[in-house]
Structure 1
Amino acid sequence: MGRLILCTGRTAKRPFYISELGLSLYTAEELCYYIYNNIFMIEDSFVSPQLLAFIGSELGLTQLEDQLRQHMGHAASGQLLLTILQEIHYYDESELTAFKKQLEKKKSASSFELAKNKADFLVKQKKYNNALKVYDSLLDDPVQKGMTEEFCARIWHNKGVAYAGLFYVEKAAQCMLKAYETLKDNEIVREIYMLSLFDEEAMDWEEIFAGVSPKQLYSWKEEFENIRKQLMQTGKALEARTVFQKDAVKRPAFIAGLLGEWKQEYREMVL
């Protein structure tokens, strides 16, 4: 979940499952970590009878379950989340103060700002298809929703990031170009150039980069090559190299297993 979590309490036999992220929570500490770090992602329906049953039956925190049950339907969802953090004592007072400020920020945010934050979080979690659905819903009649042109452009940019995560180079570039029309941010041009190096046939890149100096393009290409070399020593590339270093007898089984893992990871990204 992003960092090592020291769990000192009870571990659930039946975890609390967050379907949108494909995430299972087994301990009170994991529940606190999820709440604390995903406040803009969490909807009012999160504190549900199912969550209360998990807290009471699986984690053995029956007093907290009763306390939450008494206030459900009366207290704001943010207050219920704060109660969970306060009663489990995973975060100290300074961290809880910071969380309260985030709750206030969330309270003052518009519905479309909250939706964008949710989609951005889904992108970070590599749940690209789910993120794209949220971005598309936001871009459906944005004027009616009261969104500014700049805000829409940032949605277009992040939609492009989601498409890039799915290796849809042309769609990613088109979204980012639309964002650039408003934002005029050269960082977006750099990102589009990086995309072009993944698929040189996807678009008329020469026309797109006509206004960029050869020196700048060369610098970006060098940066791309350096990143590529680093990636070859980590992640999937390193896994593949390790597999092919196995002896000839064991290699097919390792390849099959690795491909199975990669396919499952891809399914999780697109479902």
Structure 2
Amino acid sequence: MSECILCSSPLADSPYQTQEGIRVFSPEELSFYLATHIQTLDETFMSLELCQWIDTQAGMHELAQRLRRLIRDKAALHIFVGTLLLDIGYLSRQEVQEISGTIAALSGKGMGERRKMACDRMAALGRYQEAILMYRSLLSEISEATTNPRIIGDLYHNMGTAYSRLFFYKEAGECFEKAFQRNARQASLRAMFSSYYLRGDLAMVEIQSQRYHVAEETLESIASGIRDLAKSTDLISYGVELNRMKEAGQVEVSRELYRLEDKYAKGAI
């Protein structure tokens, strides 16, 4: 496991091993695994082997019995997982409902669509770095010759959104351009120019507006929206400055990030 997880139950003498080869030593780790591997789950997860581990290693005898009954009654995967997560109690009821709902929505869908939904979920949870890595991995495995260009474009758009949330406006703009080239959506085009304005790269605005034949009134509408947003929050100007330092390779970026981490740890943010 890549994150520190607070466990209230004793660690198992023998770990449960997932289909990816991940060793799980506690119910809390099992909950974390399920929350982060939704896209790979299928009915094979509902196994008597898992029930046995929960019974003998986790010491949750009543839960193990309920899960065995669900397997016997051929219950849906999302019901099985929801029952398991609620009884463990590591995640909130709302989180469990979201996970169960996502699993239900993934039912019957192909692996590509399952993985896209998992990427989008990571981004929705604010885990942008993980989402970007997942989008990259998925895009590297997709064949543009056999996949609907709009689907690929939407993946690039969502990855661009994740980059922009991290103030990586250059990378975001590149993603939005690739998105527009494939999905032809005005949302991707406007997001691309928004990234240029946020970087303060007016030269790129001029170049790309001519390349994509964008009207002057459209550009003014985008710029006006950003100016209005900047008036209502300091986050825009802060993000622009942080992005400027990053692109210049200044060490102040690392210092600023450390400062933010320190303030967060002390509860100042």
TM bucket, shorter chain? 0.5 to 0.7
Alignment-derived partner of residue 63 in structure 1: 62
* Equivalent residue runs for 1:41-56 within 5 Å: 43-44=41-42, 52=54
Maintained 8 Å contact 2:190/2:222: yes
Aligned residues: 214
1:106 equivalent in alignment to 2:109: no
Maintained 8 Å contact 1:149/1:182: yes
**Residue type at the aligned position of 1:166:** L
Identity %: 18
| SS at 2:198 equivalent | coil
Alignment-derived partner of residue 151 in structure 1: 151
Which of 208, 211, 215 is residue 217 of structure 2 equivalent to?
215
TM-score (norm 2): 0.58
Task: State the distance in 2 between where 1:164 and 1:233 align.
Answer: 12
Task: State the distance in 2 between where 1:169 and 1:76 align.
Answer: 42
Shift of residue 200, structure 1, vs aligned partner: 2.2
Alignment-derived partner of residue 164 in structure 2: 164
| SS at 1:198 equivalent | helix
**Residue type at the aligned position of 2:120:** D
* Equivalent residue runs for 1:194-233 within 5 Å: 194-201=194-201, 204-210=204-210, 211-232=213-234
Alignment-derived partner of residue 176 in structure 1: 176
Maintained 8 Å contact 2:106/2:114: yes
**Residue type at the aligned position of 1:223:** G
Shift of residue 180, structure 1, vs aligned partner: 0.5
Deviations 1:49-88 (A, max 9, x none): 7x948xx76xxx7522432266679866434125448989
Shift of residue 40, structure 1, vs aligned partner: 5.5
Task: State the distance in 1 between where 2:235 and 2:143 align.
Answer: 46
Task: State the distance in 1 between where 2:166 and 2:115 align.
Answer: 21
Alignment-derived partner of residue 126 in structure 2: 126
Shift of residue 134, structure 1, vs aligned partner: 1.6
Going from structure 1 to structure 2, the CA distance change for 1:178 and 1:129 (only over 3 Å counts) comes to same
Task: State the distance in 1 between where 2:157 and 2:176 align.
Answer: 5
TM-score (norm 1): 0.58
Alignment-derived partner of residue 245 in structure 1: none
Maintained 8 Å contact 1:52/1:68: no
Alpha-carbon RMSD across the aligned residues, in angstroms, is 4.9
Task: State the distance in 2 between where 1:62 and 1:231 align.
Answer: 52
**Residue type at the aligned position of 1:172:** A
Gaps of 5+ in 2: 1-6, 11-26, 240-255
Shift of residue 201, structure 1, vs aligned partner: 3.6
| SS at 2:126 equivalent | coil
| SS at 2:167 equivalent | coil
Maintained 8 Å contact 1:160/1:171: yes
Alignment-derived partner of residue 115 in structure 1: 115
Which structure carries more relative contact order (alpha carbon 8 Å, separation 6+)? Answer: 1
Maintained 8 Å contact 1:39/1:103: no
Maintained 8 Å contact 1:40/1:117: no
Task: State the distance in 2 between where 1:202 and 1:46 align.
Answer: 52
**Residue type at the aligned position of 1:173:** G
Maintained 8 Å contact 2:149/2:183: no
Alignment-derived partner of residue 260 in structure 2: 259
Shift of residue 131, structure 1, vs aligned partner: 1.4
